[in-house]
Copies of this chain bind each other. A is one copy, B any other.
């Protein structure tokens, strides 16, 4: 019997898989442009077989899937696990698709004053980051299209909030009046980015401060190549302003693509003087391994 794990992160627009041995070592890794939006209802099993059939061939190999594949629009809906939740609670709600062969991890849900909040996939990255860093109390920040800020206490996620920062940046830099004067493809300009972060601290709010990216261009105070960094700073600065949790938290862990975590590290240092530990995609594999090992 194999004790290999096929770990899959099946998101809305992309799909990644890793073949992991019993000790958690990644043996192979693949990405595919087969996010759940590209898969027709009823076709998930076939897509899975085509992409991972080879890895699954060895008897006893198991697969654990995280991400939007467990949503209503995915393969099988895995109902959200309520917070607070640690490895034990999430593991208890892992949903078997093919018993002892393929299973899917539920996301987390929480409610603030009657309004729900959710994550799917990030909880696995958080568990992975805990395993890799040993941090069991802290604030875990996961930048992306819909960023998650999660509070972890004694190894359990006790609270979290979503921020649409990535999506707002895409909308504003591509579809708003700001798109006319900024260069969305320009590389990060750290000075302009930190200028935006600082600007967000004026308390006038995003709806006003975003307009500064328009007028700075209009009065030729900032080149097009710096404006996208400035706008990014205004957005991330606004996100940080809402984090009353940061100051109270000793340990900060950033998980995500380096281009994004770098911006958050810069902004957190500027606003709170905080240093953060940073992890990338390895957190997902470590999280699925952690969920699987004790399953």
Chain A residues proximal to chain B, CB less than 8 Å? 112-118, 146, 161-165, 167-168, 171-172, 175-177, 199, 202-208, 210-212, 215-216, 218-219, 221, 235, 238-239, 241-242, 244
| Contact yes or no, A207 B168, CB < 8 A | yes
State in angstroms the CA–CA spacing of A242 and B146 once bound together: 24
A sample of 17 more A-B contacts (CB under 8 A), given A146-B177, A163-B208, is A113-B202, A114-B221, A115-B215, A116-B216, A117-B211, A117-B215, A118-B215, A162-B208, A162-B211, A164-B210, A168-B210, A171-B176, A203-B244, A206-B207, A206-B238, A207-B239, A207-B242
Contacts of A219 in B (CB 8 A): 116
Query: Measured between C-beta atoms, what is the minimum distance from A117 to chain B in Å?
Result: 6
| Given contacts A118-B215, A218-B118, A208 and B161 within 8 Å (CB-CB) | yes
Q: Which residue from B114, B208, B215, B244 sits with its C-beta under 8 Å from A242?
A: B208
State in angstroms the CA–CA spacing of A207 and B218 once bound together: 26
Query: Measured between C-beta atoms, what is the minimum distance from A92 to chain B in Å?
Result: 22
Provide 6 A-B residue pairs closer than 8 Å at the C-beta atoms, listed in order of the A residue.
A112-B204, A115-B216, A118-B215, A163-B208, A206-B238, A207-B239
| Contact yes or no, A163 B117, CB < 8 A | no
| Contact yes or no, A116 B241, CB < 8 A | no
Query: Which residue among A114, A117, A242 has the maximum number of chain B CB atoms within 10 Å of its CB?
Result: A242
Residue ID in chain B nearest A204 by CB atoms: B242
Contacts of A239 in B (CB 8 A): 205, 207
| Protomer copies | 2
Contacts of A242 in B (CB 8 A): 203-205, 207-208
State in angstroms the CA–CA spacing of A51 and B117 once bound together: 54
State in angstroms the CA–CA spacing of A219 and B235 once bound together: 27
Contacts of A215 in B (CB 8 A): 115-118
| Contact yes or no, B163 A212, CB < 8 A | no
Contacts of A161 in B (CB 8 A): 204, 208
State in angstroms the CA–CA spacing of A207 and B163 once bound together: 5
Query: Which residue among A177, A203, A205 has the maximum number of chain B CB atoms within 10 Å of its CB?
Result: A205
Q: Which residue from B117, B165, B199, B207 sits with its C-beta under 8 Å from A164?
A: B207
| Contact yes or no, A206 B206, CB < 8 A | yes
